Chains A and B, each alone.
Chain A
Amino acid sequence: MDHLFEFLLRQGDNALVLGHRTSEWCGVAPALEEDIALANTALDLIGQTQLWLGYAAEVEGKGRSANDLAYLRDVYDFRNALMLEVPNNDFGRTLMRQFLFDAFQVPWLTALSASSDERVAGIAAKSLKEATYHLERSSETVIALGDGTDESNRRMQDALDYLWPYAGELFGQDATDQAMQDAGVAPVPASMRSVWDTQIEQTLSAACLSRPDTSFAHSGGCNGSRHTEHLGHMLAVMQTLQRSYPGAVW
């Protein structure tokens, strides 16, 4: 296995799958400003996907492009974290997921900006500016909704309880993670845990939400061994054009 390729797929697929899920809000968000914010967030993530998967395709060296990787792979070739593929549900869960992910991405991309691989460092430094902006919005929104009405507080707590068992997968340390650390490309994601915990605690406390009392974590997305049933349905929509009209271009 080419660990660098695998590592790049994880970064690209996280951005792609969350980017696609977020884009599902386009036109149906609860307010015009939120609709625009969600569409812009999705756009940033899809842009980051092009950079990560573009580099992944080069590293793979089989003549595939970023588009080939996005539109012509099936469920078990995807390497995104499970938390990012589960359905959006309501606006609260969408923003809670964005917050849990952003709180990971900011320290993670900060660390990757110092990668020994200068392409990784460049993509990370670019994405970090966007992730920092996303975190500002998602954390403020989690606080506004958590510390809002009884209903918004209940919905945010439900969202957190639902997503929590998925969040732990972000902090992996498998053979690929270890190989990337040995090569100086990236620290193991598990080392981000304490920074993430601090951010989460600060925000949840300001949002009047309680951190779930479990450390159970689903796994299987980042290594492709066991995705949820939802990813296939998402890909069926996302990939329909390339599946129906192979090779179609603008």
Chain B
Amino acid sequence: MTAVSDISEAQIWTYLESVPDPEIPVISIVDLGVVRSVEITGKSVEVTITPTYSGCPAMAVIAMDIETGLAKHGITDVHLKTQIAPPWTTDWLSEKGLARLADYGIAAPQKAGGPACCPRCQSKAVERVSQFGSTPCKAQWRCTDCLEPFDYFKCI
């Protein structure tokens, strides 16, 4: 077992990179932009997270996954802190995360308020089905060329 004192904060960030988002497992919680900071004090590690949506049920799972993810590396003295201000924004999604979302079939958030194109066939002929979707962070859209429905990551 590695002593926490031998581990750098950068190393902890690397460990967190391998903790997947429970609802969208192709991106990590770091790519999702919910991890605000990592701080090592003595033997304990404090991880500060910012919730995506205030009622998102995945946040409780994310907290648990951080604890188990770090425990795998022998880090058991973990304190989780929730910070709501400044509020989470889709601007915090990483470039890598955005690319993986697109590969997975989820259109990336756009300031204009709708997807740039269908994530499957790249057509720009898309229409909104519903402002909400399978998780709080997504909306349902449809491509009118390939006719496939798809998820769009809401821009907030």
Q: B-contacting residues of A (Cβ < 8 Å)?
A: 33-34, 36-37, 39-41, 43-48, 50-51, 118, 121-123, 125-130, 133, 136-137
Contact = CB atoms under 8 A, between A and B. Distances in A.
A121 B54 contact: no
Contacts of A123: 84
Interface stretch (B20-28, B98-106, B128-136): B128-136
Given A36-B132, A133-B154, 19 more contacts: A36-B133, A36-B140, A39-B132, A40-B132, A41-B132, A43-B53, A43-B57, A44-B136, A47-B53, A47-B54, A48-B55, A50-B54, A121-B85, A122-B84, A126-B51, A126-B88, A130-B53, A133-B131, A137-B132
B53 A44 contact: yes
Nearest to A51: B54
A96 B94 CA distance: 38
Given A36-B132, A44-B54, A50-B54, A126 B84 contact: yes
Contacts of B129: 33
Nearest to B156: A129
B126 to A, nearest CB: 16
7 contacts: A43-B56, A44-B54, A50-B55, A51-B54, A122-B85, A123-B84, A126-B85
A36 B54 contact: no
Query: Considering the complex of A and B, which 4 residue pairs feature the smallest CB-CB distances, nearest first?
Result: A47-B55, A47-B54, A122-B85, A33-B130
B87 interface: yes
B86 interface: yes
Contacts of B54: 44, 47-48, 50-51, 126-127, 130
Contacts of A46: 55
A136 B87 contact: no
